[in-house]
Amino acid sequence: MVNLSSAKGLPFSDGVVAGNTLYIAGQEGEDEAGKVVAGGIGPETTAALANIQKVLKAAGFELKDVVSVTVYLADIHEFGDMNKIYKDVLPDPKPARATIQVAALVNNARIEISAIAVKRK
């Protein structure tokens, strides 16, 4: 098992590799400094997906390896705006996905995304 430690200094790993599977912790739409990007759900979705890609790359995986995604939204009414960006970033075939509205996210974020990737032979 390989852990990709959190650059944020928080008590969890950004990703854990177990066998041929990578479990990616929830990624918010944060910039390199750890601040939620300005502009709302669109820029936050773009940044959250970019952060997922960084974890994938660090573990030797690619977007095409993602098989499952969970999207947490602070406001389900932003689903359409999130989905416009999501569909352009994730390759076909799209991973299985659940989208959930939550009461609140850390840092007053609008979105958090977690994912599971599997290296296929």
Query: Does the bond joining 93 to the residue before it have cis omega, within 30 degrees of 0?
Result: yes
CATH class for the domain made up of 2-118: alpha beta
State the pTM of this model: 0.93
pLDDT, one tens digit per residue, over 99-108 is 999 999 999 9
Break the chain into its structural domains and give their ranges: 2-118
pLDDT, one tens digit per residue, over 1-12 is 555 566 566 678
